[in-house]
């Protein structure tokens, strides 16, 4: 897929970081900005975290009634300017380069709207697009996509729109679209100490399959060799353990 990147703001990593810090200061004030900068500095230096690999059987998806205030549409290359503005509003201009790369690689996704306002997005790939997505490789997730499986990543919803069931509704509509495309399994991951996200995925029927330990060095996660724990057997009751498919 050919993508015109000239519409992307021309900012290097340093300029993007400065722009994002100014945005955070305007939105949250000096005290909150300093707290977030300190937290990022601690995390960037060195930290250990656990990642939980999740699997959802799309064949088990059931119909749910929603207010229909939120709609999703497939992301297209000409949606990039709207994504750039969205990232500017959330003080994360560094995400622009990732969005350009994902579109250029042919990755697919959905944009979430309330009225005409872009409020979130969700990206995914299947085996034909990218059998070994960067997350799978970099974090040691040990996910093997078959012809009926997809890997979902970078799900984000603006904080002010996370209440009222919007997060559940967004995920449900993504899952429904993927099932309608013929997929049966949806893979993903969540950081173990992200309790709100884990609750959300549990509500939607995602099953924890494996826990992977990683350390964060500067801005990269590095999997810790030999620290992978199978979880799925614990969630299948007293029957014989079931290996992940």
How large is the C-alpha radius of gyration of the chain?
A: 19
The DSSP code sequence of 139-176 is: TT------TTEEEEEEEEE-GGGSTTTHHHHHHHHHHH
Instruction: Write the pLDDT tens digit of every residue in 109-131.
Output: 999 999 889 999 999 999 999 99
Average pLDDT value for residue range 140-169 = 92
Higher pLDDT, 242 or 199: 199
Instruction: Check if the beta carbon of residue 167 is closer than 8 Å to that of residue 72.
Output: no
Band (pLDDT 50/70/90 cuts) for residue 231 is confident
Give φ, ψ of 69 to 5 degrees: -75, -20
Lowest average pLDDT, out of 56-70, 91-105, 230-244, goes to: 230-244
The SS3 call for residue 104 is: helix
Q: Enumerate helices (H) and strands (E) in the chain, giving the number of each.
A: 6, 8
Domain(s) of CATH 3.40.630: residues in the chain: 47-66+123-235
Long-range contacts of 43-46 (CB under 8 A, 24+ apart): 43/216, 44/216, 44/218, 44/219, 45/218, 46/215, 46/216, 46/217
Give Cβ neighbours of residue 122 (< 8 Å, ≥ 6 apart): 72, 109, 110, 112, 152, 154, 155, 156, 170, 171, 174
pTM of the shown model? 0.79
**47-66+123-235, what's its fold?**
Aminopeptidase (3.40.630)
């Amino acid at each position: 897929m050919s993508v015109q990147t000239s519409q992307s703001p021309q900012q290097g990593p340093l300029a993007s970081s400065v722009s994002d810090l100014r945005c955070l200061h305007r939105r949250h004030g000096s005290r909150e900005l300093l707290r977030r900068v300190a937290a990022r500095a601690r995390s960037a230096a060195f930290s250990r975290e656990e990642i939980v690999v999740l699997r959802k059987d799309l064949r088990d998806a059931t119909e749910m009634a929603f207010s229909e205030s939120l709609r999703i549409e497939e992301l297209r290359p000409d949606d990039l300017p709207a994504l750039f503005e969205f990232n500017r509003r959330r003080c994360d201009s560094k995400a622009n380069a990732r969005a350009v790369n994902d579109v250029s690689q042919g990755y697919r996704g959905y944009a979430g709207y309330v009225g005409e306002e872009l409020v979130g997005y969700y990206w995914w790939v299947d085996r034909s697009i990218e059998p070994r997505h960067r997350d799978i490789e970099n974090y040691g997730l040990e996910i093997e996509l078959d012809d009926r499986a997809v890997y979902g990543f970078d799900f984000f919803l603006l904080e002010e729109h996370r209440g009222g069931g919007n997060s559940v509704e967004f995920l449900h509509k993504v899952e429904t679209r993927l099932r309608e495309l013929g997929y049966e399994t949806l893979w993903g991951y969540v950081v173990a100490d992200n309790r709100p996200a884990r609750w959300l995925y549990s509500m939607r029927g995602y099953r924890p399959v494996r826990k992977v330990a990683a350390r964060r060095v500067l801005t990269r996660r590095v999997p810790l060799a030999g620290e992978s724990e199978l979880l799925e057997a614990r969630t299948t009751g007293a029957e014989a353990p079931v290996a992940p498919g």
